[in-house]
Amino acid sequence: MLLMFIGLQTKTIRPEWIAITANGLTRNMALFFVPAGVGIMVAFDILAKSWIDILAITVVSTLAVIASVGLIQQWMERRRQ
């Protein structure tokens, strides 16, 4: 993903070159969640024991990602102007 981002930003990769593949992957994205769902069901007993820890980590990491993406977006907007 990082290489794709760099390639698109430096214009060494044109969006039309990857459009068909990207659209195909996006349309079938639900299939990529099946293994994760199966893994959750297999490890349900472990998850049931530590659900509070998992919930806290999920909330903190989600807030950290939202804040970092917001700050980076603001920095990029200022840089563009």
The pTM score is 0.52
Q: Is the pLDDT of residue 81 over 90?
A: no
Going from the C-alpha of 3 to that of each of 21, 38, 39, 55, 67, the distances in angstroms are: 16, 30, 28, 32, 24
Q: How far apart are CA 60 and CA 54, in angstroms?
A: 10
pLDDT of residue 54: 92
Model pLDDT, residue 65 = 98
Report residue 66 CA to chain centroid gap.
12
Q: How far is residue 79's CA from residue 10's CA, in Å, rounded to a whole number?
A: 16
pLDDT digits (tens, 9 = 90+) for 22-79: 999 999 988 989 998 899 899 999 889 999 999 999 999 999 999 999 999 999 999 9
Residue 1 confidence (pLDDT) above 90: no
